[in-house]
Structure 1
């Protein structure tokens, strides 16, 4: 967070806060709703079903609806089709061949038919198009206004790294309004030169607009947007020049464990270059790279963070230099990419896969982070204000500014600037929820906060707690009707953002209360996932550069209608959440009291150990059914806008009952559907995948462990030998021997063995990485594995992994080597003197003191024997998979949910074990 930003306009600055002020009287029968801005021209139009505009009629649409003149034209700049079947065409307005800045209009089609249009339009007259200043004269005035000591173009190598050139100036028409609330006239524009000025001392970047007639500074639109308004004032020796990579040996993209500063150990993607690994991920878009600026300010002097064994541990990186913060930055950029890709179908910030670069250790004790239009830059923090600014929500926030630049491009001042900041906070929260849901989702910057008396930089759930308004015009609200400068935070963009932040929080989780302007509200939350879809559509489809909070309300409601239907619970919540923060009226429904008909034919299918799928016949209503409530017993489980619902989070071998009720826009609920009863199946364990992508040069030739003595002939990167097993007793040490096999050249290999001791389906728990060996050409390699006394009894999985030039982790795919899975039956200490059976367990010989009946069994299995206190039981199938566990209580064991087949019951009191087969009818 830098103390000095560019010296901004001391004269009157042009203001761009245009409010949606009125509905226009509709005379066109093709139009169902028309909203107008302060200049009396349409800001949005919604068409009737009868409208006949097709996707080839754009010129006619603009002429009919906007009154486009002969000397004006709209040039198409982008076409996108979303996941909901809409096509969006975005246009730029030109007047006499000169671009009208911020004048974008979008047409929205579905099935080839125009359904709505929105944007900013100016019906210009008497426009001056001949400049009196030369480009050089205007440029000098722009430089004088910024007043920096140094500019990026003065260091050509750094400029090239940022893909930046000394600005030549672009002649544009800049819409202007001299004072907030003054009605803009048709010719109220200025012919202006636009310069992208990137200063490096002090740091700033933004577009400076110079009046081409008078030379006045008209507007400054910041490109570099810092994390907050608060401001003030050795790396690993293995670092290498980030512009070079070794080509003398294998180069591969691999997964690695990274001990981040703020989010624990996370899996990241790295690149093997020569003999070291660097923070470079080529699996997402065109790449995600993280560099070390070594406390300097030159991007070309930055180097790679590298690691010799690709195990980025706290012992190496949790140092006084805060190098583990770089691991947060790299992981944060990866998870930000993943969020946008998997949730919104967006390929990087520009939707074209552009590389995401993060530069860490910028300057000395620099208390800020920012997106500069090209890359991410992170300061280390002073410790007094902030720690190193690389937490997951900060990464999501800053890259969120890049998303905004490529979508709404909200001007960085007044209400549009406040929403620009708010959307970045919204995406920071969503990405934190996506990547690390146990964190404080609704606090922004809580991990980096070091200021006394502050829990975080901002709070979305309680903006007042950090000095922000939770109501438009309420406590802490900054009047945006001011001249925007750096010193007033461009009329409060980092403060007034709290209003849209709180809107999103209320929409996601719900809230009841009375706001600062006396409005009592009660909003039912729709979940963060649905709220995010509405917010993204609002930003990417409807908002334009100079949108206001009023525009956001209108467009937010339309976004909810597009996604969930008119009158839906989501539309009601969106409307009422805006009302809760003081923007617009509450949702108004009719006096309808007629409930929908009850859903019929409720059925369940595809039931597993944790899920089931419900479906039913649609209800009818006198107006419209807006959705369905799903009940588990008498408890509300969830809701659906369709006639299906996927139930998750169930427990294995447990009985459940479900029912459904329909609802309408007025809140009327139907009678209940029929009740459907299900019993979940036995739990199944699915292990993560791990493999070598090529076993052509090296693979595992033989594994010896206990009674396992397996010579492998498999040539794929993964081999499933779970049918090969051995017994192993608690507290006993066993030798493992792994023999590598090389096709020709001998390569250096690393090894690791993993055992799922607690049988929870992963190798991530403490002690489950049971043996590793650093890279070597030794053959064979041997080690000792001791089964802990706490290991769960029974059959579990063993993973043996061999990787070229590095120690493998349990769930990674790597370039060269092989992974093999085996089984191990963990037994109690002491010998068991009974015969072995197929499942690797030991069956007790029938005696008069022990009885298992009936056998075969249909529903209830009885167990009877002397001295049966303190026994637990578990039932496994013939593959060794655990099905049921419990304590022996004297009551029959319910096996009614088991499928027909042969099973094994094992009884264990810690010192003695009894095992017996039985048949389920």
Structure 2
């Protein structure tokens, strides 16, 4: 933003879900996370530059980057449960070590217990000559505290960052090396000497002319061989004669090459869990809850390219709001992408049984692929990170070549719908080369409404079906009466695709006021415990005695 003209200058595609965010001027990147996710550094293009692990219960709402006389690190403003929910934590980003912590409610007089942390910032010379670490107590107050002095030297240069290489999986034998030299002083400088050393190599040179506050990015002619797994230390320094502040001359960076691995996922509370998973040859029954990722990768089934396999997941302690998603890493890049996601159907809406189909892409590479199954409560599952309830399990899918081609195509794949109008999507079914059986797929329609994506289950039956089999179109209806009272009509089509006669009974349920309902004491206690755990009610909340209450 240009705050003088109040105009937007540019936007950045964040590499991770971003709630707390701070600008690291040395790396020209942004430290960000969402609540208790891993703090991650990404650049202006969205490329990940680094990250560090935290405990997983911090609930950060704001970040601020500090690099001054008080030290260097990332401040986080935390709503951590069990604290004042106004905690400051200072991290060494190279190791994730907490360097300092402080409870803001120990010095603030306006906020009260129950008020929570908001955003955070660092800014120079709000009070002349000092840095201010400032923050927001949500809906209550802004605060600021002194956090170092602002001093400008005439002659002061240094390496502000070693931007490349960065840690990652399977680094190569020729990783580029890039440093940034900055003129921190007020006087212009030319020909600043610099040197970079690392395991097995070194290179030196000089900069061009840098005005006060300017930087120069330097890409070394040499590259680094980081192909072996392990840690590599890079040191970069300037050596300007007459430098008045040598403390900022050098930067050191440890780069780690590691074997690729799948992201971690965890669950806090044992309640609902994945009890059964049945998918082809995978028949994992009667398992218990695990807080981390349950490793069942020794269990596998084979799905040919372009083919589908039914999957059924049973809940060990059902809640109607439970949700189950499945991901298969078809491209083996160790990431579970949206295009690799399958949303299972909550059969009957009770949260007990979830069904769907896993469809291998027509171009699926032969071999093993990781499948992740996740159950969560109320909110859509994510393949990585922490959730309050549910469970996560990993399996293996083997894709084989020579299978049939894609049997389902849709057209158009993009479009717009003006208010009050409709557009049609044509689905083409091709059974060529398919064996007799039932094939499943999903049509996922992303859109800009509150309901996105909309997932439409699709089934194709190849061959005859002896038993009566019902197909209802559409599977959901919505009617808007803008000027009641009105009477309108819609129709459902009931089709029997089997060879025997189908009989059915239809009953319409509405949300009109219902008769008095008996309260099950055990179910009530269970619901109250869940609501307390979620912070929806407190211990002093009034309770409903078991008995009856009116339906409306």
Q: State the TM-score bracket (shorter-chain normalisation).
A: 0.3 to 0.5
Query: Considering only CA atoms, is the larger Rg found in Structure 1 or Structure 2?
Result: 1
Normalized per residue, the structure richer in strand is 2
- TM-score in terms of structure 2 length: 0.38
- TM-score in terms of structure 1 length: 0.24
Normalized per residue, the structure richer in helix is 1
